[in-house]
Structure 1
Amino acid sequence: MEKVKVNMLNDVFFKALLCDDRHKELTLNFLNSILNRTEEQAFCDLEFLDKEIDPIIDAGKVSILDIRAKMNDNTQVNIEVQIAKPKDMKKRAMFYWAKLYSYQISEGEDYSLLNDVISINLLNFRLFTNHDRCHTACHITDDFDKKTVIKDFEMHFIELPKFKLGDIKRLRKSEKWIALFSNKCTDEELEELL
Structure 2
Amino acid sequence: MPMPDIPDIIHLNRLNDVFFKALLGSEERKTLTLNFINAILNREGSNAFTSVTFSDKEIVPPQIDGKRSFLDVLVEMGDGTRVHVEVQVLLDEYMVNRSLYYWGRIYSRELEKGDLYADLRPVITINLLDFNQFPQYQTYANTYHIMNDDTHDILTNHLEMHFIELKKIHISDIKKLKRSERWIAYF
TM-score class normalised by the smaller sequence: over 0.9
1:11-42 Cα shifts (integer Å, max 9, x gaps): 11111111111111111110000000111111
Matches of 1:87 and 1:135 in 2, distance apart?
17
Cα-to-partner distance string for 1:124-178 (whole Å, 9 max, x where unaligned): 0000021111100011111122121111000000000011112011100000000
What aligned pairs does 1:1-194 form with structure 2 within 5 A after superposition?
4=8, 5=10, 6-181=12-187
- Whole-Å separation in 2 of the counterparts to 1:55 and 1:139: 26
Cα offset, 1:47, TM superposition: 0.4
Question: Using the alignment, how far apart are the partners of 1:160 and 1:87 within structure 2?
Answer: 16
Amino acid at match of 1:67: V
- How many residues end up aligned between the 2 structures? 181
Q: Give, in whole Å, the separation in 2 of the partners of 1:113 and 1:57.
A: 25
After superposition, the Cα gap between the structure-2 partners of 1:97 and 1:167, relative to the gap in structure 1 and judged at 3 Å, is same
State the Cα RMSD in Å: 1.4
Per-residue deviation, 1:123: 0.4
Task: Kindly indicate whether the alpha-carbon contact (under 8 Å) linking 2:88 and 2:128 is maintained by their aligned counterparts in 1.
Answer: yes
Query: What residue identity is the alignment partner of 2:172?
Result: G
Name the TM-score, length of structure 2 as normaliser.
0.92
SS of the aligned residue for 1:127 comes to coil
Counterpart of 2:29 in 1: which secondary structure?
helix
TM superposition score normalised by structure 1: 0.89
TM-superposed CA distance for 1:106, in Å, is 1.9
- Structure 1: unaligned runs, 5 residues or longer: 182-194
3-state SS of 1:151 partner: coil
The runs of at least 4 consecutive aligned structure 1 residues that moved more than 3 Å come to none
Name the aligned partner's letter for residue 165 of structure 1.
Answer: I
In structure 2, list runs of 5 or more residues that go unmatched.
none
